[in-house]
Amino acid sequence: MKKSYRAISIVASVAMVATALLAGTSAADAATKVLTISSDLPLQGSSFDSNDSTNKAIALYLKQIHYKAGKYTVKFKIYDDATAAKGSWDDAKCAANAQAHVANKSEVAVMGTYNSGCAKIEIPILNQAPGGAMTMVSDANTNPGLTKSWNPGEPDKYYPTGARNYARVCTTDDVQGSAAAQFAKSIGVKSVYVLNDTQTYGQGVAQAFTTEAVKQGLTVLSSGAYGEGWDAKQSDYTALFTKIKALNPDMIYVGGIFDNNGGQLTKDKVAVLGDNTKVKFMAPDGFTGYPEFNSMPEADGAYLSFAGLSSDLLAKIDPKGAGANFVKAYKKEYKKDPVGSYPVYGVAAVQVILAAIAKSDGTRKGVTNAIFSGSGITIPAKTSVLGKALTISTLSGDTLAKDVTIEIVKGGQETTLKAQTVK
59 sits near other proteins (criterion: CB under 8 A)? no
Give yes or no for a contact between 396 and 295, defined as CB atoms under 8 angstroms apart: no
Residues in region 395-414 near other proteins by CB under 8 A:
none
- How many residues bind to other proteins according to rule CB under 8 A? 63
What angle separates helix 364-372 from helix 342-359, to the nearest 10 degrees? Answer: 110
Instruction: Give CA 271 to chain center in angstroms.
Output: 32
Instruction: Write down the least CB distance from residue 225 to other proteins, Å.
Output: 10
Q: Which of 37, 39, 40, 44 binds other proteins (CB under 8 A)?
A: 44
- DSSP category for residue 183: H
Q: Which stretch binds other proteins (CB under 8 A): 59-67, 193-201, 208-216, 262-270?
A: 193-201
Q: Which amino acid is at 354?
A: L
Strand-strand pairing, 303-306 and 403-410? antiparallel
Instruction: Write down the least CB distance from residue 254 to other proteins, Å.
Output: 16
- The three-state secondary structure class of 250 is coil
1 sits near other proteins (criterion: CB under 8 A)? yes
Please give the C-alpha separations between residue 406 and each of 29, 76, 192, 250, 263, in angstroms, as whole numbers. 45, 33, 17, 18, 20
Q: Which of 41, 112, 124, 209 binds other proteins (CB under 8 A)?
A: 124
Q: Which of 49, 67, 75, 86 binds other proteins (CB under 8 A)?
A: 86
Cβ distance to other proteins smaller for residue 30 or 246: 30
120 sits near other proteins (criterion: CB under 8 A)? yes
Q: Which stretch binds other proteins (CB under 8 A): 79-87, 186-194, 316-324, 335-343?
A: 79-87
Bond prior to 421 in cis (omega within 30° of 0): no
Give yes or no for a contact between 116 and 146, defined as CB atoms under 8 angstroms apart: yes
Q: For residues 346 and 354, give the distance between their C-alpha atoms in angstroms, rounded to a whole number.
A: 12
Neighbours of 304 (CB within 10 A): 30
375 sits near other proteins (criterion: CB under 8 A)? no
Q: Which of 20, 66, 85, 246 binds other proteins (CB under 8 A)?
A: 85
Q: For residues 337 and 403, give the distance between their C-alpha atoms in angstroms, rounded to a whole number.
A: 22
The candidate with the shortest Cα–Cα distance to 306, out of 412, 385, 416, 230, is 416
Residues in region 149-168 near other proteins by CB under 8 A:
151-153, 157-158, 160
Q: Which of 40, 80, 285, 407 binds other proteins (CB under 8 A)?
A: 80
Contact footprint for other proteins (CB under 8 A):
1, 3-8, 10-11, 15, 18, 21-22, 25-30, 43-44, 48, 80, 82-86, 88-96, 98-100, 102-105, 117, 120-121, 124-125, 128-130, 151-153, 157-158, 160, 198-200, 203, 229
